[in-house]
Chain A
């Protein structure tokens, strides 16, 4: 069964200008999100996962720009639209949940006001209906006494509740694409679990695609259908959650999995990936991962040529010379 694509990113290149010089932050990023699917973008800080979301939302800072590639939301290429036209997509077609719910909510306005404003703008309903719908959505995200919550200000809510309010706000516009940028990183584990199970439950109801950004592989395992691993602005591996977790191919993915102190394992040898994460100003010829990779010495191509994406099994792509060599 062919599912409808809600987001299709193709060959995306983006640069940041730092001190009058442009540095590449995204290099040939392609992936897509279907309806009823959660795609997790994983990587360490600085790998470009947040920049990817900003590109999609059209919220890049002034010193950044997309130089080529396309971002199609529901068949419309956002890169070809003007800023004003992209604005019509934001909120309505694609909604975003941020890491810090406190900074995403206006501290001077009540929850009710902010929810109502959103509903009136995107759903074109009057004030009364908007209030009714706000209560409905707050109930949907599992908030008790929604009526009294509407009169409260963000500072009166706990972190978990604020995040729920944000989710309700995004849902209320009925977007086709939900972008969640580390939505649970600032929450405690027990609250994180509540929010994740909420998102998992809502996925079916809202019939939208979710693009989920995180650095926590445990969270990925709980929520992802598909995983995209980024390293230093490049996609290194992509596949279904089963493929990436049960059979990681890229040395970086393997290293990342090993570095996580896993609660389930009894024995754990702390095995960090050697070296440091590269700065974007650093130029690394060949594979971006080669200075930290254990197999660089065995393979002459790593330091010379950037590896291409190779489909190792249906739907599972890896960019590594070594994997390519072994496959042949």
Chain B
């Protein structure tokens, strides 16, 4: 591929625990990390209880995440102007000081440990029983101190990591005050850009309202003629006609020429504001660039023994977040970014209010998130209905009169109403019959191409994943098993769980040899009390000693093919 993929969303060690009885926690999602690129159809597969739905909801912040980060790149910081960044900048100094303090403390503890150790070494453990007892006691103390020192070092690096999210490896610099100053200046520009954006948005709304009015005034007669041309009308079509006639009476006095002139006048104003936003943005980037140019890699403080290490600095630089950290947004900010991040649910009937007409249900979205006037809302809703292959008269229908596939189309229309960039499809086609399922998949493909959407497609159906998704993540008990391109995963599955999952899929093939041993036995263990080590070891036929003790890390067994299994650690070592 020649064009570089643009990041949309980055998850780092995302965790979600639910509280369970007895002070325990249900580990629904455990350390999930991956990058989602723009325009991708990313599949998440697993059995029920593997945490795939929780993952989708945690990304959308419908559940509060327990730890880790979820960074969104689809919207610029200028548009949102989140408050947390300034807060983080003000904390930078203390991060640096904390790290230094923790590290110094750990050195002291180390020193103490060394002293005690020396004492212990002077004793002979095989000598008199008194000596042996004392030796044991001292050694225990040394171990305790060593653990303490390790914890302190961890705290130190945690502090630095927190700081590096805002400014990368600059957190290590001596001139932190000056850097903070520059970053604060950049934030001022972000604020200014955001203010401009608000007034720009107002003008844009006005512009669209005018456009709609012009459109209605010019075309309403044609629309009426179209409906009347159908001959006998059903109830919904009659409502549609009545509404059109009402619109006609409303737009009768509209001066089209004047509106057109108004819009012409609005256009340069909008362009002016756009330029202003860009200007602020450039200045902001200038400040950030200045900070990096002047201070990056220079005058680095020896905060811990690692800080002078180039590799460590690079690691901190990679932590630098240019996107929006969703977990840190305030509820209001989250609400304003919500239009970008949408979700389609499995059961379309349950996500629609049975007492609300379809049109109302879709229009509601605009009512909540935009300031568009009623006429524009209606017009947009009709356009959406058309986009998801429903008819204008469905505007007046109620959910009970639609089939499952049509209801799911309404769900999709609601999700894409506000022009999102990211949609989580949680088992969106699982409740539908195959022929309808194919229709919905086709619609989803069409909408993605037209609106530049990115999907997170959650499903248990491997067939759908294979043919719909570009990349697939296999999950088991909250953990990631395997992440690969769809083609790779199905032709060359590496993880034993993926293999047995593929074996279990009912094939459209007759007379296959049934092999009792190949059938995966047992059931998914409880996530409250997950097995030690690799979560799959209780059902895995390749289970080794290490599997029971140690959790496997995700390794890149083949290019772009990640797998978490001890079978593949070994291969790498050898």
Contacts and interface: CB of A to CB of B under 8 A. Distances in A.
Interface string B455-496: 000001111101110000000000000000000001000000
B435 A264 contact: no
Given A189-B462, A194-B519, A260 B434 contact: yes
A191 B49 CA distance: 13
B233 interface: no
A271 B434 CA distance: 10
B153 to A, nearest CB: 43
Given A189-B460, A190-B47, A216 B501 contact: no
B523 A270 contact: no
Chain B, interface size category, equals 35 or more
A256 interface: yes
B435 A221 contact: no
A221 B506 CA distance: 8
Interface string A238-262: 0001100110000000011101111
A270 B520 contact: no
Contact of A221 (B48, B500, B510, B516): B510
Interface in B413-443: 433-439, 441-442
B367 interface: no
Interface string A255-293: 111011111110010111110110100000000000000
A246 B435 contact: no
A216 B507 CA distance: 10
B437 A245 contact: no
A44 interface: yes
A196 interface: yes
A44 B404 CA distance: 12
A158 B524 CA distance: 10
Interface residues of A, number: 45
Nearest to B47: A188
Contacts of A305: none
B486 to A, nearest CB: 11
A160 interface: yes
Given A189-B460, A190-B500, A263-B505, A241 B510 contact: yes
Contacts of A300: none
Interface string B268-294: 000000000000000000000000000
A270 B501 contact: no
Contact of A276 (B403, B503, B524): B403
B544 interface: no
A198 B216 CA distance: 64
B222 interface: no
A221 B509 contact: yes
Contacts of A200: 514
A215 to B, nearest CB: 6
Contacts of B461: 261
B498 to A, nearest CB: 12
Interface string A78-101: 000000000000000000000000
Given A188-B48, A270-B442, A263 B436 contact: no
A270 B516 CA distance: 34
B97 interface: no
A277 B406 CA distance: 11
Nearest to B466: A263
SS class of chain B's interface: helix, strand, loop or mixed? helix
Contact of A215 (B405, B434, B523): B434
B510 A242 contact: yes
B301 interface: no
B386 interface: no
B90 interface: no
B218 interface: no
Contacts of B47: 188-191
B445 interface: yes
B379 interface: no
B504 A160 contact: no
Given A193-B503, A270-B441, A276-B405, A262 B433 contact: no
Interface string A219-253: 10110000000000000000001100110000000
Interface string B205-244: 0000000000000000000000000000000000000000
Contacts of B434: 44, 215, 217, 256, 259-260
B391 to A, nearest CB: 12
A7 B505 CA distance: 30
A259 B521 contact: no
B438 A270 contact: yes
B252 interface: no
Given A161-B523, A268-B466, 19 more contacts: A44-B433, A190-B504, A194-B521, A200-B514, A217-B434, A218-B507, A221-B506, A221-B510, A222-B512, A255-B435, A259-B437, A262-B507, A263-B505, A264-B507, A265-B467, A270-B438, A270-B468, A272-B442, A279-B403
A-B complex: 6 closest residue pairs judged by Cβ atoms: A218-B506, A272-B438, A261-B463, A44-B433, A272-B439, A188-B47
